[in-house]
Amino acid sequence: MDTWQEEKERQPVYEGFSAPWTEAVYLYCIARTQGLPCFSGPGVEESHPIFLHSLGELTAVASYVPAHLFAGPESEKNLQNPAWVGPRAYRHEALIEYVMRHVPVLPLPLGTLFTSLERMEERLKRHKEELVNFLRNISGKAEWSLKGYVEPEWAQEAIVSRNLAAEEDHLRSLSPGKRYFREKRIREQAKKELSAWTNNILDQVVERLRPFGSDFCERGILSWKATGRHMVSNWAYLIADAMVEGFHKEVDHMNAELDKAGMRFELSGPWPPYSFSPALGDAGP
């Protein structure tokens, strides 16, 4: 259940207000003003409520936070502590997804801070045209994550079966001893072919899914330690709402075809368009 409640009137705009650095402005996302409901509720720090700061066509969704929690020596310990990061990351993401259900949104990473509201406003005004264009272009679209995994043993056995079938007539003509050594070489060769086979499948998948996405990008492959599986692809697609059903069906068809070969794709979303959002340019609060 959402913890943010819509209000009848928009909250005050804090123009010209400059918070001391003991309190920082924490920016969650930038949203299109038109269609965004007025709402209130807790921020990443539950004692500090969110507020909406209007810049005409854009609205910043923000809250104040104690600066020392996210910047400085204490923050280093906090950000390395899953028990501290977890609830705040959840509230950060949940708030962005709440806004996303109403209007196009540009999400910001966890811990995006400004020393004052004026500094935040200055930065957003500097990039206003780019931000307005981005929100216009992603209207009616969302990010979908598609991760590919392979079971090496299964995939290798599929390659062996294919190669054995290709040489079936020749193998039948060999003596048992020669046939044994030939099959052994085929299995050894399959280990070398596994990488090429995987890359070939991934290329085919990209082509099959190309018609469904308005944009696509590759993300970092996660380690075995992080996933407990062999990840071979980590892609983000920007999909229009009208194309989502077809995209899902195509992924299901691919999984049905590839399952016995030891490869599978996992789809999740819709997510805020993190992978396609422009940076705010120059760094610094």
Residue 11 within any structural domain of the chain:
yes
Residue 280 within any structural domain of the chain:
no
From first to last of its 285 residues, the chain has per-residue pLDDT tens of: 456 554 433 333 333 334 445 889 999 999 999 999 988 899 999 889 999 999 999 999 999 999 888 887 887 888 888 998 899 999 999 999 999 999 999 999 999 999 899 999 999 999 999 999 999 999 999 999 999 998 866 566 666 667 667 766 665 676 776 666 666 676 666 666 677 778 888 999 999 999 998 899 999 988 878 777 888 899 999 999 999 999 999 999 999 998 877 889 999 999 999 999 988 765 444
H-helix or E-strand spanning residue 23: strand 23-32
Boundary of a domain, candidates 139, 154, 182: 139
Domain count, the chain: 2
Boundary of a domain, candidates 90, 106, 139: 139
Q: Could you tell me if 134 and 147 lie in one domain?
A: no
Q: Could you tell me if 85 and 56 lie in one domain?
A: yes
Q: Could you tell me if 130 and 210 lie in one domain?
A: no
Cross-strand partners of 141: 240
Domain containing 37: what range?
A: 5-139
Task: Look up tokens 């906090």; give the residue.
Answer: 78
Residue 283 within any structural domain of the chain:
no
Q: At what angle do helices 176-209 and 244-258 cross, to 10 degrees?
A: 180
The answer to whether residues 143 and 151 touch, using CB atoms and an 8 Å cutoff, is: no
C-alpha 120/C-alpha 124 separation (Å) is: 6
pTM over 0.85, yes/no: no
Q: Could you tell me if 83 and 196 lie in one domain?
A: no
Q: Could you tell me if 80 and 97 lie in one domain?
A: yes
Q: Could you tell me if 9 and 135 lie in one domain?
A: yes
Q: Which pair of structure tokens corresponds to residue 3?
A: 């913890």
Say whether the peptide bond before residue 270 is cis (omega within 30 degrees of 0).
Answer: yes
Boundary of a domain, candidates 102, 119, 139: 139
